[in-house]
Each structure stands twice: as C-alpha cells, then as structure tokens.
C-alpha cells in the first residue's frame, strides 16, 4: 500500500488506511512515512516546517536531519494506543511532539536527570514526581528521554530552547513543543513499532476503537460505538 502526498508534502491518508498499512507493512510505514519525510499536518506549508526545524537546530546544535515530529500534529490524528486518545483528530491545543535523535544531546539530558534522581530517591518522591519517575523508567526501555514532567531544576537550557521555539509560532498559532530524545535511529524506530504493536493488540481485543475513514472529532468518542 502506498500513500499520496499533496502539493505541500502532507501525506494524504485516513485512520483506516494507516492502520491497514500498520498491519501489512509496519516497517515501511515507520521508516518511509512516520519518521520524517513529510510535512506535518500542523504546518500549512513545507517552508513553515523547514523554518521550525532550522530554529530548533540552531538552538540545540542538532543537525536538521536528526529532527522530526511525531503524534497527531504530524499525521493529523493520534495513533497513541490509549482509549482516550486513539484516532482523535489534531486540535488547536495539540502539542508539537518533537523527536531529537542525537547521542551527545541524549547523553547530556540523561546525565542531568540521573544526577537529580541520585539526590532524590524514588522512595522520597510523592505525587506527580513519583509518577514521572515511573514514566521515565518505562521510557528508558527504549533509550528515550522525554521533557514532560521534569523537575523544575533539571535541563533548564533545553526547556528554555523549547519555549523560545514555541513562541515563534511557526505553524501559525501557539503550540507547545515537547521533546522525545533518543541516542540513535534504531531506538526511535523501536518506540514507534511498539506503539503500533500495542495499537493492533488493543483493537484485536476490542479494548480500543477501530479506525474510521476520518479522524474522530475531539471528545466525540465517548458516545461512539465500535463498528
């Protein structure tokens, strides 16, 4: 199965078509379509997306080819294997989920976090800090660091960079930028492959809604019935 591109480089696909390819040829879906190679749906024009990527590259020192977006702002709808998110259409409140694939950047980021964790053992953490600690352990299975839920004193420069890029509003409106940081492309690919595996498993078990021809409008799935 192949998808078409429009004149600005967006992939023209539907939730049902993407899911079909996820079952038939997940490696091609990930390598050729999901991990860069197309204009994210959050950007009306390819040039806007290029400006965004170059703004990130200039401020992080990471080559533009090692940056791409994932999530609903990339493909136009969510494929996160969670009942409250899957197949939901991108909205004006959707964040830009930025992927950074760079070993030195990953190592610096992870070193700061681990130093903080050494000084703040999990048994001393409460509330969201304890939850964030457990989420970081899950992310580490894929050699992934995320900036969501970081303690306020950790990776300050990175967060300042993300805030500065956000305020430039390259996609025409204010969207927060959150980062997924990997040391290599294989780790980034495995994370996507795991998401697709969990997506198919959830649908096969009737735990997740099956895809439709169009994304679900935001908050509409609570009254929707599986096909």
Total domains, the chain? 1
Examine residue 33 and state whether it is found in any structural domain, yes or no.
yes
Residue 222 lies in a domain: no
pLDDT number for residue 219: 58
pLDDT, tens digit (0-9, with 9 covering 90-100), for 63-99: 999 999 999 999 999 999 999 899 999 999 999 999 9
**DSSP of 90-144:** P-TT--EEEEEE-HHHHHHHHHHHHHHHHHS-GGG--HHHHHHHHHHHHHHTTT-
Structural domain includes residue 217: no
In a domain, 227, yes or no: no
Residue 102: pLDDT band with limits 50, 70, 90: very high
- Does this model's pTM top 0.85? My answer is yes
pLDDT tens sequence across 139-174: 999 999 999 888 888 999 999 999 999 999 999 999
Q: What is the pLDDT of residue 149?
A: 82
Q: How far apart are the first and last CA of the chain?
A: 23
Distance CA 214, CA 216 (A): 7
Residue 21 within a domain: yes
Structure tokens at 163: 């805030």
Identify whether 220 is part of a domain.
Answer: no
Count of helices and strands (H, E) across the chain: 8, 6
Question: Is residue 219, in this structure, part of any structural domain at all?
Answer: no
pLDDT tens digits, one per residue of 168-204: 999 999 999 999 999 999 999 999 999 999 999 999 9
Give the residue numbers spanning the domain of 61.
Answer: 4-212
Q: Express each pLDDT in 9-65 by its tens digit.
A: 999 999 999 999 999 999 999 999 999 889 999 999 999 999 999 999 999 999 999
Place of tokens 């980034």: 188
Grade residue 218 by pLDDT with cuts at 50, 70 and 90: low
Stated as kind and residue range, the H or E segment containing 191 is helix 185-204
């Amino acid at each position: 199965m192949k998808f078409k591109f429009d004149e600005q480089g967006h992939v023209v696909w539907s939730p049902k078509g993407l899911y079909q390819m996820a079952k038939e040829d997940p490696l091609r879906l990930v390598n050729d379509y999901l991990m860069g190679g197309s204009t994210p749906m959050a950007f009306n024009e390819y040039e806007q997306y290029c400006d965004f990527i170059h703004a990130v590259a200039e401020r992080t020192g990471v080559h533009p080819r090692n940056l791409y977006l994932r999530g609903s702002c990339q493909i136009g709808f969510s494929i996160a294997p969670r009942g409250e998110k899957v197949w939901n259409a991108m909205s004006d409140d959707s964040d830009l989920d930025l992927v950074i694939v760079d070993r030195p950047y990953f190592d610096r980021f992870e070193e700061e976090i681990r130093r903080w964790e050494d000084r703040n053992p999990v048994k001393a953490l409460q509330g969201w800090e304890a939850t964030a600690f457990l989420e970081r352990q899950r992310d580490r299975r894929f050699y992934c660091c995320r900036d969501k839920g970081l303690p306020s004193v950790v990776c300050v420069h990175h967060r300042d960079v993300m805030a500065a890029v956000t305020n430039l509003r390259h996609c025409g409106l204010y969207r927060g930028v959150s980062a997924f940081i990997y040391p290599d492309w294989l780790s980034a690919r495995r994370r996507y492959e795991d998401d697709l595996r969990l997506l198919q498993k959830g649908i096969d078990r009737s735990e997740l809604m099956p895809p439709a021809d169009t994304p679900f409008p935001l908050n509409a799935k609570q009254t929707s019935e599986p096909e």
